[in-house]
Amino acid sequence: MMTDFTGEQTWLQIQHELGLRKLIEGSEYQEELKYDFNIKGELRHLDTNEPFVFNHYKNAPEQNHKRYQVLGHLITQYVYSLLERVCMLQKVYIPTDAKEDEPRSFFFMSKNALTSSSSLTVLLQDRGVFCAGQWGHRIIVNEGLLHGTQIPFIQTALQSHQGVIVLNPNDTFIHLKAEKERLSFPAREAATSTRSAWWMPERGRGSPEEHTMYVWEHFISKSAAENVAFIAHGYGGLVFVDLLVQRTQEVMSKVYAAALIDSAHNAQHQARGQPEIQQWVQKHCRQWVASSKPLDKAVGSLVRMNCPTVSAGTEKYGLAPSCCLQSIFKYLKSTLRAKTTTAFRNSPVATRSSTSKKRGIK
């Protein structure tokens, strides 16, 4: 199923046709979870049209929590399907040289993301139980797909003919074979099966930092794109700065900007004794934070954690990414334009042309 991303209504219509309900049907929770996303991307009860209710069982917090876990698992699988069928992203399993029974993880990327010379946008989420394509599970449940998923960011990047890589830093314990078997189980069994039975730590990539480093070394750093941008939320900002510290020259030469949202990074601490990294963060990063101030208004002294900081236009942490989406892409566009203009002015061809004009040579 193809989409030209002519507007947000297009992908919301497609997601509505795909239907979360199709994943719920057939499970043992199909009566307790009679929910689906409507045409606006909001999670609503199929009979009452009411938002999700956590306390479905009276005086049974453990049962309610398990029910919520099942919903979270189904939403994760649903978002994966949207990334592939709506955004047309490809699932890439890592490590690339894994043996047949070796644990693997994966991430998503757009077609030709590594071979196109256009700019490349990398999405890096916060730390939590949510996986690729999600800014936050609770936001998806309470506020909808437009606010809780990364799809609007992916859509905006693709509309600008940028390549996209969606990292999956929180999914670092999945076993490829176990994943397929687990997904064939009823939802109740999937939720209550123990982690030790179905989840195994993957080789050398057991943390968000290791996951990001692996994708950088084997994919992003080898891509044809000369202009890479990171959009990182929460702990993802710390992970990006860690990558910068570990691969300083590579990152500095390939990444033209990083948009950080309520980032957990601290450049002064992470890059202690490395002033060139702190200076790079100051020049090439901008942070949006939850604040009562209007969107893009300076927060504090404008410099927080060693990079310019502005308001995300909302006081709610979980809504910060969706609220500052347009502002982030405006910043990335202007930063890339400035870099391209500077590079052209400093190029040998431009320099010779300028010198010839000064001498009156045509």
pLDDT tens, the chain, 362 aa long: 334 444 555 788 888 888 898 888 877 778 889 999 999 999 999 999 999 999 998 989 999 999 999 999 999 999 999 999 999 999 999 988 888 878 888 999 999 999 988 899 999 999 988 899 999 999 999 999 999 999 999 999 999 999 999 999 998 644 444 444 444 434 433 333 333 333 444 554 579 999 999 999 999 999 999 999 999 999 999 999 999 999 999 999 999 999 999 999 988 888 888 999 999 999 999 999 999 999 999 997 544 457 999 999 999 999 999 999 999 999 999 999 998 887 667 666 555 555 555 555 54
Query: Which residues, in sequence order, are CB contacts of 1 under 8 Å at separation 6+?
Result: 14, 85, 86
**Residues 81-359, CATH architecture:** 3-Layer(aba) Sandwich (3.40)
**Model pLDDT, residue 14:** 83
**Model pLDDT, residue 31:** 82
Quickly list DSSP for 259-309.
EEES----HHHHTTT-HHHHHHHHHHEEEEE--SSPTT-EEEEEEETTEEE
* Phi and psi angles of residue 249, each rounded to the nearest 5 degrees, phi first: -65, -40
In which residue are the tokens 């927080």 written?
A: 304
**Model pLDDT, residue 201:** 46
107, 132 Cβ separation under 8 angstroms: yes
**Model pLDDT, residue 231:** 98
CA-based torsion, 56, 61, 64, 68: positive or negative: positive
Alpha-carbon span 362 to 353, nearest angstrom: 9
**Model pLDDT, residue 32:** 86
Q: What 3-state DSSP class applies to 182?
A: helix
Residue 45: other Cβ atoms inside 10 A: 14
In which residue are the tokens 């069994």 written?
A: 189
Chain center to CA of 99: 28
**Model pLDDT, residue 116:** 87
Alpha-carbon span 161 to 145, nearest angstrom: 23
Q: Find the radius of gyration of the CA atoms of the chain.
A: 22
Alpha-carbon span 207 to 229, nearest angstrom: 22
**Model pLDDT, residue 184:** 40
**Model pLDDT, residue 78:** 94
